[in-house]
Amino acid sequence: MTTVFCITALTTLASAVAAMSLRNLVHCVLCLTVSFIGMAMVYLQLSSQFVGFAQVMVYVGAVAILMIFALLMTRGGQELFMREWRPMHWLVGGLVSLALLAVLVGSILQSPVIQNTGPVDKVERVKDLGQSLVYEYLLPLEALALLLTVALIGAALIALPPKQYPIKPQPRENS
């Protein structure tokens, strides 16, 4: 392992742990953003440029910024007050996490990818992928962009506060 990979991995893990354990929501989202950037750096170190750049564009450029704006617009950055601490919750969570880790490690060790020792002969470049998206898959790309735009507008309309209509005065009874 190289030194750059070790530093990237440790930074990514530390920021992921901080994102789960901090109480201020804005700090949690910022730590999650650092984790997303660290994952993108790992992808780039593994010579997977498209996945790395997609990670930066989608997760850092869209998801993390959207979460920060949502928190700041709704004033949701206050401290989280956790309910009482129960050791049983930690025990159950730890057991579920260990079971998931065992399943993932087992499936990785049985994967045929581990036996693959040589590099793939044909390496797709990001430029080739971009050209195929623009020339061959333009209609699905535009349909996806339209769908995402409609979803964003719908989410913004749902998030708007209800309109306060003025109360009409009731006619007085003449006595």
pLDDT at 127: 77
Do 26 and 71 meet the contact criterion of CB atoms below 8 Å apart? yes
In the predicted structure, residue 79 carries a pLDDT above the cut 60: no
> Which residues, at least 6 apart from 2, have a Cβ–Cβ distance to it below 8 Å?
45
CA distance 42 to 34: 12
62 close to 46: Cβ distance less than 8 angstroms: no
> Which are the contacts of 64, defined by CB distance < 8 A and separation ≥ 6?
29, 32, 33, 36
- What are 90-120's pLDDT values in tens digits? 788 889 999 999 999 998 888 877 776 655 5
- The CATH number of the structural domain formed by 1-80 is 1.20.120.1200
What's the pLDDT at 34? Answer: 92
pLDDT exceeds 60 at position 10: yes
pLDDT in tens, 127-156: 777 788 788 888 888 888 888 888 888 777
Predicted local distance difference test score (pLDDT) of residue 39: 92
Whether 175 has a pLDDT exceeding 60, the answer reads no
Neighbours of 143 (CB within 10 A): 10
Q: What is the pLDDT of residues 20-58, one digit of tens each?
A: 888 788 888 889 899 999 999 998 888 888 888 888 888
The radius of gyration of the chain from alpha carbons, rounded to an integer in Å, stands at: 24
Q: 139 or 122, which is more confident?
A: 139
For the whole model, what pTM was predicted?
Answer: 0.55
Give the C-alpha separation, 36 to 56, whole Å: 7
